[in-house]
Structure 1
């Protein structure tokens, strides 16, 4: 099995977008993800939608590169969600050629969260960008079943569910749940491995997700089995923050290792399973 490889924002979050493109070119990645909005207050983001000069500079750089922008991060749907507030981000995404925006669900009111997602998906469709709802076990969308239930209430071509291997391994999501996601809702998936046993409290789950993911094939998540449930050639974004391992190896060798390990996992997935 082969698939386009993406270098996710979180893997090299300290690297500014221009250098992110350069790293992707040097180490065999086809696409990159950019974090325009922070995942949590005070964390790193590059708000290109608020800086026309920086946005134009990056677009010119991409025009001369084989690397494309695939996804933007992150829209979080909370209790006071206002889809219109994300228009500048989506406008920038269109100029960058982005195909997806990562969405997190934080509103504990399932009905309101579902309505907010549907509104966002309708807005994203106007920009040719899919709204990829990611299930994460500590959020209001804890597993694949919850994501499917929410996305199924939206209309239009922007409906999307994002599968992250770490969250599959650490939620109640089964392989059957993954296989049940409508194929047209899958636009990319995130690759990494994770330690076993998994943390049992939310704080540690979050810390591992943001700081301590493992190289594919070195942890306890059955990655070939997960990918056997997904469409063949589905784009893969390597989301693998682990600063201790990255510093020990050096950024270049580290990215080479991640890309090679991911290709090894994909090669182990029988095409007949798709």
Structure 2
């Protein structure tokens, strides 16, 4: 069965690129979408390309979108953490809506269940004003780190614009079951994160974190059964989140981004159909 795959270029794949650069690169390489970091996290060495604070860069970004036809899929990252102010995410949501984006990624970094349920619900309610979904990503080094924990949040909060964003790396590291994934409501799935990684799960958190942030593999070149995970979910766009510092040093951002797309397309063809409705 032929399936038309749609792919986005994620910010973490080409981390230190401006919105203009990542959009131009995605278009040149043949991606359908771009996924941009518009919520500044203040990490060491992280550039701040907040379009809500830079009208010139916003204008230039809009021109790239108009000239190339590239589209915005999602923005990141609306984290839930202690002492947060949800309203601080609103400018980024305004930016996403203005650029035609559809989704905001969220993840949970505090262990207090009642608190994170309340704040995630607030993020959903704020995003709904901009016709955005909020897609909860579980991460093996975060507080909500499994499929079951994420399902608990979605069912409890019960917001119409809340979704589940599965990263195949995180799914594998959590040792989750594709049979459980296949049981979940189709309307929860808006897009996913695609990459590969060594099949052996690191025992140490530091090594887990290093691979997660710096050394993921091209799809089909690692040890994850990527196809089985994708086939447990409905057909949808995939954002290729594949940071690899060695490949970037060797190839440069653009060629790395191109190889990410080429390997993903080659792997998915004939292996992935997505679960039937």
1:183 aligns with 2:180: no
Task: Please give the secondary structure, in 1, of the residue aligned with 2:157.
Answer: coil
CA change 1:38–1:195 in 2 (3 A) is farther
TM-score (norm 1): 0.94
Question: Is contact 1:35–1:45 with CA below 8 Å preserved after alignment?
Answer: no
Distance (whole Å) between structure 2 residues aligned to residue 265 and residue 133 of structure 1? 26
Q: In the alignment, is the contact (CA less than 8 A) between 2:103 and 2:132 conserved in 1?
A: yes
In 2 relative to 1, CA 244–177 (structure 1 residues): closer, same or farther, beyond 3 Å? Answer: same
- Structure 1 stretch displaced more, 87-96 or 196-205: 196-205
Are residues 54 and 271 of structure 1, via their aligned partners in 2, closer, same or farther at CA, if it must alter by over 3 Å?
Answer: closer
Gaps in structure 1 of 5+ consecutive residues:
none
Cα distance change on mapping 1:54 and 1:250 into 2, 3 Å: closer
Q: CA deviation at 1:60?
A: 2.8
Q: Which of 21, 24, 48 is equivalent to 1:22?
A: 24
Q: What displacement does 1:220 show?
A: 0.5
Indicate the SS of the match to 2:115: helix
State the alpha-carbon separation in 2 of the partners of residues 253 and 98 from structure 1: 25
Q: Which residue of 1 aligns with 2:225?
A: 222
Task: Compute the displacement of 1:4 (Å).
Answer: 1.0
Equivalent residue, structure 1, for 2:273:
271
SS in 2 for 1:71: strand
Q: 1:35 Cα deviation (Å)?
A: 0.8
How many angstroms apart in 2 are the aligned matches of 1:202 and 1:268?
Answer: 35
After TM superposition, the score normalised by the length of structure 2 is: 0.93
Count of aligned pairs: 273
Question: Of 40, 62, 74, which residue of structure 2 is paired with 1:71?
Answer: 74
For 1:152, which of 152, 155, 163 is the aligned residue?
155
Tell me: CA distance 1:272–1:101, structure 2 relative to 1, closer, same or farther (3 Å): closer
Residues 48-70 of structure 1: CA distance to partner in whole angstroms, max 9, x if unpaired? 12222222321232122210011
**1:170-217 deviation digits (Å, cap 9, x = unpaired):** 013211232133211111011100013221222222221110100101
Q: 1:203 aligns with which of 193, 202, 206?
A: 206
The answer as to whether partners of 1:227 and 1:266 remain within 8 angstroms in 2 is no
Q: Which residue of 1 aligns with 2:238?
A: 236
Cα deviations by residue, 1:1-55 (Å, 9 ceiling, x for unpaired): 3321100011111121111111111111010011122445333342112222222
**Residue aligning to 1:117:** 120
Shift of 1:148: 1.1
> Structure 2, unaligned stretches of length 5 or more?
none
Matches within 5 A, 1:164-179: 164-179=167-182
Using the alignment, how far apart are the partners of 2:27 and 2:198 within structure 1?
30
